Amino acid sequence: MKPTVIYLRTSTEEQNPKLQLKDCIELAKKLGLNDYEVLEEYGSAFKDNVKRPVLDSIQKAIWKDKTVKNIIIWDFDRLFRNRIKTIEFIRNYGKIGLKVYSCRQDWFQAIEKMPIPFNEMMKDLMLQMIGWIAEEESQKKSDRIKNAVRKNKKGITVSYKGNRWGKKLLSKVARQKILELHKEGYTMRMIAKNVTYADKNNNMKNVSLGIVHKTITENTLKNNE
């Protein structure tokens, strides 16, 4: 893994991490960190039970392998939407020299230039605020989603518009097709264009990059167990 990593995370399969990439590349150039590696991941940063193998591999490269020295993210909430986890990550890895740069909080780096001990005091305060805002935003979103669904007369959970709620599991056929194309050397974007599935309302759609990424990652983890 290269010394500088651009870490892109999105929380749903519909979001596109490439929307974050442009800003991250511009920040890397501004910092003079031109030799970087881009790593993408799909998954929640709010829930504790969600596996995040990409972030885990980055942490291993920081702590054990000592190869990663800089992480560039679009927003601090791309790491975690949990105040304590965000603070612990930046504090603990900062002690061994890791630098974390955020596009949306580029002002955070200016705190480093403040006189001691005010720089540490302000950094701790701002991390607390950033983490709390991200945590609060996720909780509010979760509450809005819960309030927007209800049971219909048949006992089926639907949205306020009456559409069936929840994700439909990917069929075995679609899953197998993804893995076959991946084995043949297709890129994730090419696979997404060539595999279709029926959504929860039985409409045929192309699988998203998120579904492709998740399917390949889960299969790789399963094979490595």
Those residues whose C-beta lies under 8 Å from the C-beta of residue 142, and which sit 6 or more positions away, are: 46
Q: What is the pLDDT of residue 20?
A: 86
CATH of domain 4-137: 3.40.50.1390
Per-residue pLDDT for 158 more than 70?
A: no
Q: Give the pLDDT of residue 59.
A: 93
Q: Which of 180, 166, 165 is nearest to 215 (CA)?
A: 180
Please check the confidence at residue 180 and state whether its pLDDT lies above 80: yes
pLDDT in tens, 93-140: 888 999 999 998 877 777 777 777 767 777 777 777 766 666 666 555
Cα 125 from chain centroid (whole Å) = 24
Sketch the domain layout of the chain as residue ranges.
Answer: 4-137, 172-224
Q: Which two tokens stand for residue 105?
A: 């909080």
Helices (H), the chain: 18-31, 53-63, 83-94, 118-148, 172-183, 188-194, 209-224
Per residue in 70-94, pLDDT tens?
999 998 888 887 778 888 888 888 8
Mean pLDDT across 159-183:
73
For residue 13, the SS3 value is coil
- Give the pLDDT score at 122: 73
**pLDDT tens-digit series, residues 9-39:** 887 654 567 778 999 999 999 999 999 999 9
Average of pLDDT values for 210-224? 82
